[in-house]
């Protein structure tokens, strides 16, 4: 039990960093630190992209709502009753004679 206790104390004191074979330990530690920094930077980058995607999705919803609203307005303006009112202001009235259908017969 004392050997285990001594090893724990050595790790807590950091003796593995200053011992004779410490270079091997430092390489591993530096590698792990670089990996952790890379993972943190990727995490932040991913968070930024997620926020940008959410913002773009909200913008898409707004544009779709605007499109539907505009399409509804255009459909109302295209109604015959709306067109009659608009052209009546310019002095045009509907014809009293209905249009005649022209048929072309090939012989």
What is the chain's mean pLDDT, rounded? 89
Place of tokens 């997620």: 50
Give the pLDDT confidence of 43-86 residue by residue, as tens digits. 999 999 999 999 999 999 999 999 999 999 999 988 888 888 88
Q: Which pLDDT score is estimated for 13?
A: 81
> Can you list the alpha helix ranges (DSSP code H) found in 79-102?
80-89
Token pair in block for residue 105: 């017969």
Token pair, residue 107, equals: 């012989």
Residue 103 lies in a domain: no
Does a structural domain hold residue 106?
no
Q: Is residue 23 part of a domain?
A: yes
Mean pLDDT of 29-35: 93
In a domain, 107, yes or no: no
- The alpha carbons of the chain give a radius of gyration, in whole angstroms, of 40
Give a yes or no: residue 30 inside a domain: yes
Interacting residues of 10 by C-beta distance below 8 A, sequence separation 6+: 16
């Amino acid at each position: 039990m004392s050997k285990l206790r001594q090893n724990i104390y050595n790790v807590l004191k950091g003796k593995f960093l200053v011992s004779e074979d410490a270079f091997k330990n430092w390489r591993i530690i530096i590698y792990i630190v670089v990996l952790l920094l890379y993972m943190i930077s990727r995490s932040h980058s991913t968070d930024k992209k997620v926020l940008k995607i959410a913002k773009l999705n909200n913008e898409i919803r707004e544009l779709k709502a605007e499109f539907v609203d505009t399409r509804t307005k255009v459909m109302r303006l295209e109604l015959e009753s709306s067109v009659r009112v608009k052209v009546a202001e310019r002095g045009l009235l509907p014809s009293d004679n209905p249009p005649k259908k022209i048929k072309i017969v090939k012989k």
